[in-house]
Amino acid sequence: MLRAMARWPDVPAVYGWLSLDRRGRFLIKGETIANRAAREFIARNYAADAQGRWYFQNGPQRVFVQLDYTPFVLRLEADGRFTDHCAKPWGPVAGVCMDETGAVLLAGPAGVGLLDDRDLDAFSQRLRGRRDARLDDDALSARLDALAGGAAAPLCVTLADGVFALAPVRRAEVPGRFGFQAEPAAD
């Protein structure tokens, strides 16, 4: 790849073609990439620049990725660990947040990832109140509603990396707080 970049140093970057949806699927112009080899190639070459813009390096060309939410989408494994949409292990988890829509975000060494909505039920089974008390559905629902509203609602989640307090976050604050651009543009 370095040889291609040296050979063609002025290849313009591409914006607005590639995106990452909330389920961790790469899309070209809104269409899911069906070819497995192409998806794996993109995943292997997925990185961020110094401005927090995520891209796919395609030879000498950078194809910037528009993010539906975060740069990573995470899946909860049975053992309480996570993998990202590129099939790489995620962790160790450094913090867990929930936004006003009920979306769960996990901070880690690579940045922040959105928990795939298909794993929210399994994630909710790991939520506890004070002193590790299991909450009934009504109590859990009330606390999650309070948390989504920005109020203190003491909830902890037990994961493979430890026990974490679930903290509120506003969706609009996520890119700035975690240092990424959801809609990258040219300098």
For 60-94, how does the pLDDT look when each residue is reduced to its tens digit (9 = 90+)? Answer: 999 999 999 999 999 999 888 999 999 999 989 99
Residue 4: is its pLDDT beyond 50?
no
Report d(CA 85, CA 93) in Å as an integer. Answer: 16
Extract long-range pairs of 124-132: CB within 8 Å, 24+ residues apart: 126/80, 126/157, 126/158, 126/159, 127/155, 127/156, 127/157, 127/166, 128/155, 128/156, 128/157, 128/158, 129/154, 129/155, 129/156, 130/154, 132/156
**Would you say the pTM of this structure is higher than 0.85?**
yes
Residue 8: is its pLDDT beyond 60?
no
Q: Which fold has domain 2-67?
A: duf1285 like fold (3.10.540)
Please give the biggest Cα pair distance in the chain. Answer: 63
What percentage of the chain has pLDDT greater than the value 90? 63
- List, by residue range, all CATH 3.10.540.10 domains of the chain: 2-67
